[in-house]
Chains A and B, each alone.
Chain A
Amino acid sequence: SQQGEEDPQALSIQEGENATMNCSYKTSINNLQWYRQNSGRGLVHLILIRSNEREKHSGRLRVTLDTSKKSSSLLITASRAADTASYFCATGGGTSYGKLTFGQGTILTVHP
């Protein structure tokens, strides 16, 4: 079963707009990661946020984590058509690099 639930399942926006995706999880975590997957390809790591962090930035990406609500959000600012992809959150792993559990994912489409 999937640890993470993501919403929305699909998001369609225009270039230049911001895209926000949310992820909820059920058990306690050490960290939470966000990945991107282009259609028919593997996953690319975007950002990792630790359980003692509340917000993290990387370029146009902003991730927040609320451990009290067991939720995280990924914000992509000033979106581009090249941002079109599926985005997944993942929990698990830890210091021993064990298995990850992925959320259901959000399919983002950015229209030029």
Chain B
Amino acid sequence: GAVVSQHPSRVICKSGTSVKIECRSLDFQATTMFWYRQFPKQSLMLMATSNEGSKATYEQGVEKDKFLINHASLTLSTLTVTSAHPEDSSFYICSAADRAYGYTFGSGTRLTVV
């Protein structure tokens, strides 16, 4: 089946620094990738939809200058949390959509900003 690799799985960073999270589709090409944020014991909240070669579409209330998304190839999308602050601490999950495999999710990244 389809596999989406997400790295890193955990990251701790200092307040004010930037963190990049990678999401790769390993055996298929994903024209569309999605980025979600999840707080403890809550559901997934869509942050943005990323299409290869074009600008990401952000959900209402998500700061595009703070959460930079790049989808430069059909197998890689990145989310950069810029100038991270403790309130950005959360679990971030990517998902890739493909007609053959449907939606495949990465294993998530636990971001802790100290």
Which of A35-43, A55-63, A77-85 contacts its partner? Answer: A35-43
For B99, list chain A residues within 8 Å (CB): 97
| A40 touching B98, Cβ below 8 Å | no
Question: Interface size class for chain A?
Answer: 20 to 34
**CB within 8 Å of A: which B29-73 residues:** 32, 34, 41-44, 46, 49
| B44 touching A97, Cβ below 8 Å | no
Interchain CB contact (< 8 A) of A42 among B42, B98, B102, B106: B106
Interchain CB contact (< 8 A) of B43 among A41, A42, A44, A105: A105
- Tell me the bound Cα distance from A4 to B4 in angstroms: 25
For B42, list chain A residues within 8 Å (CB): 104-105
Closest to B101 in A: A45
Q: Does A99 contact B (CB under 8 A)?
A: yes
For B105, list chain A residues within 8 Å (CB): 35, 42-44
| B46 touching A42, Cβ below 8 Å | no
For B93, list chain A residues within 8 Å (CB): 42-43
| A42 touching B103, Cβ below 8 Å | no
| A103 touching B102, Cβ below 8 Å | no
For B98, list chain A residues within 8 Å (CB): 97
For A99, list chain B residues within 8 Å (CB): 34, 46, 49
Q: A40-B91, A88-B43, A104-B42 are in contact. Are A97 and B106 (CB under 8 A)?
A: no
For B97, list chain A residues within 8 Å (CB): 93, 97
Encoded as 1 (CB less than 8 Å from any A CB) or 0, chain B from 91 to 114 comes to: 101010111001111111010000
Q: Does A100 contact B (CB under 8 A)?
A: yes
The 10 A-B pairs with the shortest beta carbon distances in the complex, nearest first, are A97-B97, A42-B105, A43-B105, A42-B107, A102-B43, A102-B44, A104-B43, A42-B108, A105-B43, A42-B106
Cβ contacts A to B, 12 pairs, < 8 Å:
A40-B91, A42-B4, A42-B105, A43-B93, A43-B95, A43-B105, A45-B102, A88-B44, A93-B97, A100-B46, A100-B103, A105-B43
**Chain A contacts to B: CB under 8 angstroms:** 2, 33, 35, 40-45, 48, 88, 93, 97-105, 107
